[in-house]
């Protein structure tokens, strides 16, 4: 497929491989292995002298179609699918690091990512330093002669703080040119932020989120330069086996066809909701990268093409008031997942971030009144009505409904 076609076009067609039956929709190759025409053919494929698949842990046609379409979306030379987002993060970092190396990462990370950096990698002799991701001087001060990776998410979960990706890449250039800048781009989505263009080397996704977009299956992706992937990553993926299931690859591949439609709609609705929430008396603070009152609004405009499908807000009071709002919602569902067609709300302090010490939560700005909302594809008016009614009810302005009413 020509890379002169626009992104929307490529997301419908890129990477497709038709079988001899000429199917319109991409086929699902739900097979573990592949049959060879001759013993010589098998030997040639194993020797790397003939093209072709040998085993689905190494590669599978449906997975390849997903990888090619993802690479087109990200503007990356190559992509590898993985079984989950955490498998992508773990494989990318273990391929970039070895015992004796050092990694600098933002402290505001998805729980699993923080475990990999803070606990898992050090078990194998990798030193790690967590910094305040918003503070470029902290990134710079943390660099050591053995720094081989920088890792960040932007916007962060759940407070939607930003890391200046180009700023970290400039520190890499100046102080640790061999180090890889690895960006978990889940919250920004591939549509609104292109870390490779900002100087990152490797981008990882939990495809479980917006890429699936309908809450069905787990998946992940690692994107970067072809040579790095072939020389460093492939051996790790092949021998440790976090292979993406062809079934999940097929679901994710078909989802990429509608990704721009979904992300645009969800982002527009998130903007409407952020503005509506900001006017409610019960809401102390709204955090949305698309609003001018975001603490890093200038950086948001510089590095993101639009806001996000996620927003966070703090209700007046603490945990009790936040729970009251959450429990009063009818349309918005309570769930810690995100990027779904269904709007989902979570209370980070008692769910996704409950394992952090209270001081660590406070340092990240996660107060007990904070709620995170992943905006879905419902009608914006219905969502505004549901949130407003829940907030009114929590504020005691409307009577509680009677059971059975």
Ligand X SMILES: *Cc1c(COP(=O)(O)O)cnc(C)c1O
Chain residues in the site for ligand X (CB under 6 A): 84-86, 89, 110, 112-113, 153, 157, 184, 186-187, 206, 208-209, 218, 220
Write down the least CB distance from residue 210 to ligand X, Å. Answer: 10
Sort strands 127-131 and 102-106 into parallel, antiparallel or unpaired.
parallel
Beta strands in 305-348 (DSSP E): 310-315, 333-334, 344-346
| Strand extents, DSSP E, 288-405 | 310-315, 333-334, 344-346, 370-374
Residue pair 225/38 in contact by the 8 Å Cβ criterion: no
How far apart are alpha carbons 366 and 343 in whole angstroms? 21
Shortest distance (Å) from residue 158 CB to ligand X? 10
Residue closer to ligand X by CB (options 86, 163) is 86
Locate tokens 């098998």: which residue? 42
Question: For strand 370-374 and strand 333-334, is the pairing parallel, antiparallel, or unpaired?
Answer: unpaired
C-alpha gyration radius of the chain = 22
Please, which residue, 71 or 211, has the CB nearer to ligand X?
A: 211
89 vs 304, which CB is nearer to ligand X? 89
CA distance 213 to 241: 25
Nearest to ligand X of 90, 393 (CB atom): 90
- Of all residues in the shown chain, the one whose CB is closest to ligand X is 85
Minimum CB distance to ligand X smaller for 78 or for 218: 218
Residue with tokens 């050090």: 122
Residue 113 or 370 having the CB closest to ligand X: 113
Cβ-based nearer residue to ligand X, 183 or 273 = 183
Nearer to ligand X, 193 or 393 (CB): 193
- 284 phi and psi angles, rounded to 5 deg: -85, -35
Bridge partners (DSSP) listed for residue 176 = none
Q: Which is nearer to ligand X, 143 or 152 (CB)?
A: 152
C-beta closer to ligand X: residue 207 or 274 = 207
Q: How many CB atoms lie within 10 A of CB 52?
A: 12
Residue 338: CB minimum distance to ligand X, A: 6
- Residue 374 is classified by DSSP as E
Cβ 205 to ligand X shortest distance, Å? 8
Euclidean distance between CA atoms 129 and 341, whole angstroms = 36
Residue 80, SS3 per DSSP = strand
How far is 193 from 185, CA to CA, in rounded Å?
8
- For residue 388, the minimal CB distance to ligand X (Å) is 27
- Closest approach, Cβ 356 to ligand X, in A, equals 15
Distance CA 84, CA 266 (A): 23
- Nearest-approach distance from CB 157 to ligand X, in angstroms: 5
Task: Please report how close the Cβ of residue 215 comes to ligand X at its closest, in angstroms.
Answer: 12
CA dist 224 → 19, 91, 200, 336, 396 (Å): 28, 13, 9, 29, 52
What's the closest the beta carbon of residue 79 comes to ligand X, in angstroms?
16
Which letter does DSSP use for residue 164 in this model? -
Element spanning 129, H or E: strand 127-131
The distance of closest approach from Cβ of residue 394 to ligand X in the complex, given in angstroms and rounded to an integer, is 27
């Amino acid at each position: 497929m020509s890379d002169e076609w626009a992104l929307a076009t490529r997301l419908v067609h890129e990477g497709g491989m038709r079988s001899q039956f000429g199917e319109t929709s991409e086929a699902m190759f739900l097979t573990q292995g592949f049959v060879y025409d001759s013993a010589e053919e098998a030997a040639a494929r194993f020797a790397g002298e003939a093209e072709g698949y040998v085993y689905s842990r190494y590669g599978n046609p449906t997975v390849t179609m997903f990888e090619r379409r993802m690479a087109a979306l990200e503007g990356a030379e190559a992509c590898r699918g993985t079984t989950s987002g955490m498998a992508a993060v773990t494989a990318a970092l273990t391929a970039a690091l070895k015992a004796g190396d050092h990694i600098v990462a933002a402290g505001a990370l998805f729980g699993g990512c923080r475990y990999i950096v803070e606990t898992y990698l050090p078990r194998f002799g990798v030193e790690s330093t967590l910094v305040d991701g918003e503070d470029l001087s902290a990134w710079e001060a943390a660099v050591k002669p053995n720094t081989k990776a920088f890792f960040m998410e932007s916007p962060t979960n759940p407070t939607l703080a930003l890391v200046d990706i180009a700023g970290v890449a400039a520190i890499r250039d100046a102080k640790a040119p061999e180090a890889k800048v690895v960006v978990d781009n889940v919250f920004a989505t591939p549509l609104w932020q292109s870390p490779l263009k900002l100087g990152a080397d490797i981008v990882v996704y939990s495809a479980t989120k917006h890429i699936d977009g309908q809450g069905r299956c787990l998946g992940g992706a690692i994107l970067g330069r072809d040579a790095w992937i072939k020389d460093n990553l492939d051996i790790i993926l092949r021998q440790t086996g976090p292979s993406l299931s062809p079934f999940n690859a097929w679901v994710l591949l078909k989802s990429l066809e509608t990704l721009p439609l979904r992300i645009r709609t969800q982002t527009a609705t998130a903007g409407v909701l952020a503005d509506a929430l900001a006017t409610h008396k019960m809401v102390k603070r709204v955090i949305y990268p698309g609003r001018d009152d975001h603490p890093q609004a200038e950086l948001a405009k510089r590095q993101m093409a639009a806001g996000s499908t996620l927003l966070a807000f703090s209700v007046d009071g603490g945990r009790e008031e936040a729970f009251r709002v959450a429990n009063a919602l009818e349309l918005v569902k309570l769930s810690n997942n995100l990027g779904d067609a269904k709007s989902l709300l979570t209370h980070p302090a008692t769910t996704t971030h409950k394992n952090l010490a209270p001081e660590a939560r406070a340092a990240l700005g996660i107060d007990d009144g904070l709620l995170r909302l992943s905006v879905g594809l419902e009608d914006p008016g219905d969502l505004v009505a549901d949130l407003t009614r829940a907030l009114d009810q929590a504020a005691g302005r409307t009577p509680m409904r009677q059971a059975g009413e």
